[in-house]
Amino acid sequence: MKHYDWGSPEWIPALLGQENPEQIPWAEFWMGVNPGGPSRVVLPGGDAPSLLLSELIDQDSSAFLGKETAETFGKLPFLFKVEAAAKPLSIQAHPGIEQAREGFERENREGIPLDAPNRNYRDQNHKPEIICALSPFAALCGFRKLEETITLFTNILQSRARSSDDALKAGLQKLLSALKSEAENPYKAFLAVLFSMDDEAKNSLGPFIKSRQVLFERDFPEYKDEWRLCSYLAGFIPENTPGSSRGDPGVIAPLFLNIVELSPGEAMHIPAGVLHSYIHGLGLELMADSDNVIRGGLTSKHIAGEELLKILNFSEFRPEILRVPEGAPNWFNYPSPSAEFTLSVMRSNGSAVTFTEGGPSIVLVTEGNARITEKENAAETGLSKGESAFIPPLKNRKLEFSGAFTAYLASCKSS
């Protein structure tokens, strides 16, 4: 379990059926073998003491992962999370596999400790991911169409509500000029200007957006969601004091990143190199097992603008919304190009559902109660809402899930 101040004291405890009398924010619940938050398992029967999932797998990796997964990855290759964003998470992206290896080795040579706040690469793996909403979920993801971003910044500079602050006006004009430049990657030029914006202009961004929200909505109502979200984000930035530098250019991220809203059960895949931020909501996040995060704003943690410019994909990108089709069977796999994982949802109102995944899996029950039966020996295990289980490759065995429940599964495609 990971606790951060941006989490919710209610969402994850309610999902897991646990008490939280201290009202401590619970932000993430990790399921997997990542050393940052490894899972413990209790073996069937419950007599033996619990042990780390990684320790169990190490006893016989071929049996618990399957021969192909063990040879390809050497460990459980995915990390499964419950994610609660009660306030915006940092604007971030994750490296591709070669970028992660190069960055990890470079920071090792530089002597940066793995747990140092300014460490960007904590392992050698990439981190594609899929997020599936359990509640209404808002996010920023991928660069907008360039013409749209140019329009939004032009609106700011030409509006009757434009800033009278010379430093801010100059900064916004430089951003617009970068977007209109003939650079190979206008968004790369834009972000380079944004990350190098002087403190006076950065400090003015949040107060300016908040004070002009109503006027922008009046002048450009077609972009009211963008103005409102910018103002919302600015509300999380501490007020400036003389001589301080507390501005955050991330407050204008809705002007250059797509606003994405997911309804419960909807999901989106986020490839490596795509800039994104989770704004609000409860969701399930499944990713390649990695803790590599390069941040660019909306955070008090280390921001690595120059490193971000090395790993980003600067193409326009709007993620496809993945929906469970109407009339879908009790089992649905969300499409994913990632070799390390597949996310699936199982639902039943009482009928039995046959478990069909061939690779190692983790199942989490989010609604109701499920009973798992192994057909060959009639062994049974019950899972209540908020409980999870690790399922090794079944080979010639069959499992059935019965009861009234909703469950999500993280599985490896290989076996």
Q: What is the pLDDT of residues 145-161, one digit of tens each?
A: 999 999 999 999 888 66
- CATH number, position 379: 2.60.120.10
Of 377 and 260, the one with more pLDDT: 260
Q: Are residues 291 and 189 in the same domain?
A: no
Q: Are residues 23 and 97 in the same domain?
A: yes
Residue 374 lies in a domain: yes
Q: Are residues 16 and 138 in the same domain?
A: yes
Q: Are residues 162 and 278 in the same domain?
A: no
The pLDDT confidence band at residue 326, using thresholds 50, 70 and 90, is confident
Least confident of 24-28, 254-258, 388-392: 24-28
Catalytic residues: 295
Q: Are residues 228 and 277 in the same domain?
A: no
Q: Are residues 266 and 229 in the same domain?
A: no
Residue 45 lies in a domain: no
Domain that holds residue 204: 146-254
Q: Are residues 127 and 270 in the same domain?
A: yes
Q: How many domains does the chain have?
A: 3
Tens digits of residue pLDDT in 238-278: 654 443 346 788 999 999 999 999 999 999 999 999 999 99
Residue 117 lies in a domain: yes
Q: Are residues 16 and 124 in the same domain?
A: yes
Residue 168 lies in a domain: yes
Query: 28: closest CA among 393, 409, 287, 347?
Result: 287
Structure tokens at 248: 């955050």
Per-residue pLDDT at 5 exceeds 60: no
Least confident of 164-168, 235-239, 291-295: 235-239
Q: What pLDDT sits at residue 239?
A: 58
Q: Are residues 134 and 151 in the same domain?
A: no
Q: What pLDDT sits at residue 49?
A: 64
Residue 3 lies in a domain: no
Q: Which residues contact 202 (CB under 8 A, 6 or more apart)?
A: 171, 245, 247, 248, 249
Q: What pLDDT sits at residue 246?
A: 60
Per-residue pLDDT at 309 exceeds 60: yes
What value does the mean pLDDT take over residues 117-131?
95
Domain boundary among 277, 311, 345: 311
Distance CA 143, CA 138 (A): 16
Q: Are residues 268 and 127 in the same domain?
A: yes
Exposure string (b/e) for 35-67, b if CB count within 10 Å is 16 or more? eebebebeeeeeeeeeeebbebbeeebeebbbe
Per-residue pLDDT at 46 exceeds 70: no
Q: Are residues 134 and 269 in the same domain?
A: yes
Residue 322 lies in a domain: no
Q: Are residues 276 and 127 in the same domain?
A: yes
With contact defined as beta carbons under 8 Å apart, do 303 and 92 qualify? Answer: no
Q: What pLDDT sits at residue 240?
A: 47
Tens digits of residue pLDDT in 188-227: 999 999 999 988 888 888 889 898 898 888 989 999 999 9
Per-residue pLDDT at 400 exceeds 70: yes
Q: What pLDDT sits at residue 202?
A: 87
Residue 387 lies in a domain: yes
Q: What pLDDT sits at residue 2?
A: 36
Domain boundary among 219, 254, 289: 254
Least confident of 89-93, 131-135, 243-247, 261-265: 243-247
Q: What pLDDT sits at residue 359?
A: 83
Residue 132 lies in a domain: yes
